[in-house]
Copies of this chain bind each other. A is one copy, B any other.
Amino acid sequence: MPRVLSPEVSVVDGRKQKVLATLIDDYIATAEPVGSRTLARKYAFGVSPATIRNEMADLEELGYLEHPHTSAGRIPSDKGYRYYVDRLMRPSALDPDVIEQIRATYRVRVRELQWFIHQTARLVAEMTAYPTVVLAPPLHEARLWDLRVVAIEPETVVLVLRTDTGIIQNRTLALPEGLDAKDVAAMAADFTTRFRGTLLAELQERVLDGLSHQLGHSWRLWEELLGWLAEAPDEAERVTLGGALNILNYPEFRDVSKVRRVLSFLETEAAIDSLLTRRPEHGVLALIGSEIDREDIQDCSVVMASYELGHKVVGTLMVVGPKRMEYRRVYAILETVSEELSRVLNWA
């Protein structure tokens, strides 16, 4: 008859914690269910397998471990991982080399936001060896700062849109007959003074409301121009994916259909967005397996962090991998990268 265990107290028991932590570390490293003998031999526990066996049985009863089948070792449950992440794992100190690599990435001449986002996705994917998603600030939430016109040819101009978050989009535009670049430049200047500071989302709405009629300028041109303004926020590439193929390195994804599930998830903007409700304002946060409320990637974990621009939280980094993820390392990397990224974006 099993001992009766009062849940929270017993896990606090030092040895149980050590067993759980060690088991999870081992399982993260090997992807094989861990047995009592392995645990006792491989790590210096100073107790016999039988003792460990008892502890493991308790941990299972408490819901921290599971049994794929009778004669296999144990694997962590979602609850087990959660406990590990919240209480057990020692924060990992990044190697100075690694920190230097991160800093070096951002130690560059002035670049545009999109460049930083790309580099970040690439960097984190490479360093963690998991697929990584970086979300750019949604253009809808940005405010118009500046609309400029560059004459390129008599009948062609380039529009340069700049927002308060420093995002720049440009777009070539053919001029309707009878207008030259100067007219357009004047219109743009007028437009800028009128609407500087307005949310792009709001402008978008107003366009649909027929803003162009009220402006009195050349009707057709404004239609095009405002049409573009209205489209720009939707067209902007918000999700940047790095190292998608990393997923193929993990044995839990030896099955092609699982690979498809995860990769389609990562390529679907709406899917990624659905995770954003959980985004942490500060620090790093993990969603483990069933904590993600989407069926398609229930056997994955997601680790997220935010970054700031103009001292406001605007974007997100996400690392996606098997539940058996190297949380320690990923936490450390995301912490450092999100800090450094925020720093460079805030020109500090």
Q: Are the CB atoms of B172 and A112 closer together than 8 Å?
A: yes
Is A164 part of the binding interface, using a Cβ–Cβ cutoff of 8 Å? Answer: no
**Interchain nearest-CB distance for A69 vs B (Å):** 25
In angstroms, Cα B160 to Cα A264, docked, is 35
CB contacts under 8 Å to B, within A238-264, are 244-245, 248, 253-254, 256-257, 259-260, 263-264
In the docked arrangement, what's the CA distance between A172 and B160, Å?
Answer: 11
Q: Return the chain B residue nearest A112 by Cβ.
A: B172
Judged by a CB distance under 8 angstroms, whether A146 is at the interface is yes
Question: Is residue A89 within 8 Å, beta carbon to beta carbon, of the partner chain?
Answer: no
Within the assembled complex, what's the spacing in Å between the Cα atoms of A174 and B111?
9
Chain A residues with a Cβ closer than 8 Å to the other chain, count: 33
Given contacts A148-B150, A245-B260, A256-B253, is CB(A168)–CB(B160) below 8 Å?
A: no
A42 within 8 Å of B by Cβ? no
Cα-based distance from A172 to B267 in the complex (angstroms): 29
Q: Does any Cβ of B come within 8 Å of A47's Cβ? A: no
Q: Is the CB of B224 within 8 A of A109?
A: yes
Contact yes or no, A168 B158, CB < 8 A: yes
Indicate whether A16 reaches chain B with its CB closer than 8 angstroms. no
A248 to B227, CA, bound (A): 38
B172 near A110 (CB under 8 angstroms)? yes
Q: A109-B224, A148-B158, A253-B256 are in contact. List 17 more A-B contacts (CB 8 A).
A: A109-B174, A110-B156, A111-B172, A112-B171, A146-B152, A148-B150, A148-B152, A158-B162, A160-B160, A168-B170, A168-B172, A170-B170, A245-B263, A245-B264, A245-B267, A254-B256, A256-B259
A to B CB contacts below 8 Å, 14 in the list: A109-B227, A110-B156, A146-B152, A150-B150, A158-B168, A166-B172, A244-B244, A245-B263, A245-B264, A245-B267, A248-B257, A253-B256, A254-B256, A256-B256
* Residue ranges of A at the interface with B (Cβ–Cβ < 8 Å): 109-112, 146, 148, 150, 152, 156, 158, 160, 162, 166, 168, 170-174, 224, 227, 244-245, 248, 253-254, 256-257, 259-260, 263-264, 267
